[in-house]
Amino acid sequence: MLGQDDPPAFSALMLTQRSHSALVKRILLSNGFHVLHLPKAPAVAQLCSQKRFDLAIYDEEVPGALELAENSKKSLHRVAIGLLAEGRASSAGVRLHFAMRKPLNVELLEKAVKAAFAPIAADRRASFRYTANIKDVSFVLHHLGKSRQLYGAIVNLSLTGLCIETNEMLPQHSAIDVVFPLPPSYGTVHVSGTIVWSHASGRSGIMFMNVHPSEQCKLEDWADSTYSEMM
């Protein structure tokens, strides 16, 4: 009933001075990251408007680097490590998960990279979409004060939402109730959500809203088991 795509390898983006790039890249590669190094902040900002990276390393001495770290919605990183100038008193106000002061200590930088795995994995787990072919699904659409039954299937799902396919284009921003089975040991899940996008093909994206704690536990237990099998 459920399948999954192989999770992509962890990705890292470096915005660092050339004098530090070889050292930082070596540590990232040794920890299994796919690494991209860019020397200037505008190029990073343009790339990150289209692609999300698991880890970003920002060197304060590259103009504009810490401004990218401050605006996580635009820089689209899961975890940020800052390389701060020698003698900097504080990194207050900068959205860094880890801060390393220069001159760089190889052992401490490696520990920070390893520590980054936990929040990266947690965020991936929450957002990763598992392919599915769940047909035994109950949909009830609530729109303009009326409710009606729908027929269709779940295409993919995550801890935050799912993609469904029905025989019609659904109205955006409408509420919907969904009842579907996870593999037998996890039972049936009852969730409510909002239709955030809809296509003429009949596919729609649903964002979960106010999921009951017991239903959230089912989803999280299932995701933990499924994701761990993939790693």
> Per-residue pLDDT tens for 173-213?
999 999 999 876 788 999 999 999 999 999 999 999 989 98
Same domain? For 112 and 151 the reply is no
Report the number of distinct structural domains present in the chain: 2
Tokens of 107: 């052992």
- Residue 24 maps to a domain: yes
Same domain? For 138 and 60 the reply is no
Q: Return the SS3 of 115.
A: helix
CATH number at residue 209: 2.40.10.220
Write out pLDDT tens, residues 32-53.
899 999 989 999 888 887 788 8
- Residue 44 maps to a domain: yes
Write out pLDDT tens, residues 70-95.
765 545 688 999 999 887 655 555 67
The range of the structural domain enclosing residue 175 comes to 130-230
pLDDT of 121 above 90: no
Q: Which residue carries 């996580």 as its tokens?
A: 72
Same domain? For 25 and 85 the reply is yes
CATH number at residue 22: 3.40.50.2300
Same domain? For 102 and 174 the reply is no
Same domain? For 76 and 171 the reply is no
Same domain? For 29 and 123 the reply is yes
* Helix, strand, coil content of the chain in percent (nearest 5): 30, 35, 35
Same domain? For 171 and 197 the reply is yes
Confidence of residue 56 (pLDDT cuts 50, 70, 90): very high
Residue finishing a domain among 65, 94, 127: 127
Same domain? For 77 and 170 the reply is no
Same domain? For 118 and 170 the reply is no
What ranges in 49-94 are assigned the alpha helix state H? 65-70, 72-75
Instruction: Measure the CA–CA gap between 86 and 65, rounded to whole angstroms.
Output: 16
Instruction: Measure the CA–CA gap between 38 and 47, rounded to whole angstroms.
Output: 10
Residue finishing a domain among 127, 151, 167: 127
Element (H, E) at 83: strand 77-84
